[in-house]
Amino acid sequence: MNIYATVKSIGKRKPSLMKKEYNLASKPNTLKELLTEVVVAQVKLYNERAEESQLIPFLTKEDIEARGTEGKVAFGTRYDERQADEAAAVHTALLAFEDGLYRVFIGDEEVTGLETEIDILDGADITFIKFTMLAGRLW
């Protein structure tokens, strides 16, 4: 099952919204299952990227242009060789949702609970809105 996820951070200056395609192993029935599937896919990509290190890194013109549209041109080198822990990442993502650090919309409808039943179709658009903590002082 394929879905398209868009991530938006409220506190970012650049309003860059990029859709990413995710191929889910199974159809999720609840928001918790959906978040778990997406986090597992991201951890897998992160861990695979660490294994694909080049001896002498370089960027092609296409790489520079693609990364420029994302807002940061870099080699993508990871200096920490540790692998991400899938279970810890899932736990953190679910806890962050419960704490209200981000919201999830499927189409135009907000999903408010982890155990909320969802009917997600192949090719569905999912939006994650991350909230930013503001720092400042009161006068």
Distances (CA, A) of 24 to 3, 34, 39, 88, 120: 8, 9, 11, 20, 11
In a domain, 135, yes or no: no
In a domain, 136, yes or no: no
Instruction: Please indicate whether residue 139 or residue 110 has the higher confidence score (pLDDT).
Output: 110
Per residue in 54-113, pLDDT tens? 544 567 778 777 777 766 676 655 556 778 899 999 999 999 999 999 999 998 899 999
Q: What is the largest CA-CA distance in the chain?
A: 54
Total domains in the fold of the chain = 1
The structure's pTM equals 0.73
Average pLDDT on 1-21 reads 73
In a domain, 81, yes or no: yes
Distances (CA, A) of 88 to 39, 40, 66, 117: 10, 10, 31, 24
In a domain, 36, yes or no: yes
Q: What is the pLDDT of residue 30?
A: 95
In a domain, 31, yes or no: yes
Q: How confident is the model at residue 13 (pLDDT cuts 50, 70, 90)?
A: low
Average pLDDT on 122-134 reads 85
Average pLDDT on 123-139 reads 78
Q: What angle do CA 62, 47, 126 make, to 5 degrees?
A: 70
Domain that holds residue 36: 2-130
Helix runs in 29-85, H state only = 31-51, 61-70
Q: What is the pLDDT of residue 31?
A: 95
Q: What is the pLDDT of residue 17?
A: 66
Per residue in 25-51, pLDDT tens? 889 999 999 999 999 988 998 888 766
Average pLDDT on 1-24 reads 74
In a domain, 137, yes or no: no
Distances (CA, A) of 59 to 50, 81, 134: 17, 21, 36
Q: What is the pLDDT of residue 11?
A: 57
Distances (CA, A) of 127 to 25, 26, 81, 104, 111: 19, 19, 31, 6, 10
